[in-house]
A = this chain, B = another copy of it.
Amino acid sequence: MPNTTTVEEVINNIRRVFQVFNDYSKKAKREAGLTGPQLWAIKMIAENAPLKVSDVARLMFIQPGTVVGILDRLEEKGLVSRTRSQKDRRVVTIELTEEGKDLIAQAPEVIQGHLVKGLESLPAENFMIIANGMEQLVKILGADELPPMLIHTREICTPQKKNGKNSGKIG
């Protein structure tokens, strides 16, 4: 048991966790031809479609403006479709194309998924070690009040029935 762990080692470990999340883009790109955020987005869409643009943003914890760029690139690759909602013409409904669904079937797990599976398959004792550690860390950083993550939470929005479909440019 490492009862001689130093502050430096802990920080190294925090950094390693960061790096894994950040560098996952490379591995994803190798395996699926998509960047990390693109893969993360398409997975979210696959699991929750139909989604509004703002829902994708909420699921990924990024700004809507950033999602637009990611969707542009996914649409360019023919993996997702944008459909202007008839019910509320401000809304754009995001879905996977057939090609997108095919890709998802073989796409590697996103890093977030790895983490969930890793934690779920852990012996209770080891899990509690992590749980307690993260809780302490959050307290140190004064991050207690930040909103929760909603990973894998369904019903993020009231998903709208799409009635119209006009591929290509929306307007």
Mark A residues whose CB is within 8 Å of B: 2-3, 5, 7-21, 61, 111-112, 114-116, 118-120, 122, 126-138, 140-144, 146, 148-149, 151-152
Contact = CB atoms under 8 A, between A and B. Distances in A.
12 contacts: A5-B127, A5-B135, A7-B120, A11-B115, A11-B151, A15-B61, A15-B149, A16-B143, A17-B143, A129-B129, A129-B136, A133-B137
A10 B2 CA distance: 22
Contact of A17 (B10, B19, B118, B134): B134
A12 B131 contact: no
A109 B47 CA distance: 41
Query: Mostly helix, strand, loop or mixed at chain A's interface?
Result: helix
A154 to B, nearest CB: 13
Number of copies: 2
Contacts of A21: 18
A2 B146 CA distance: 19
A17 B116 contact: no
Nearest to A121: B140
Contacts of A115: 11, 14, 140-141
A134 B8 contact: no
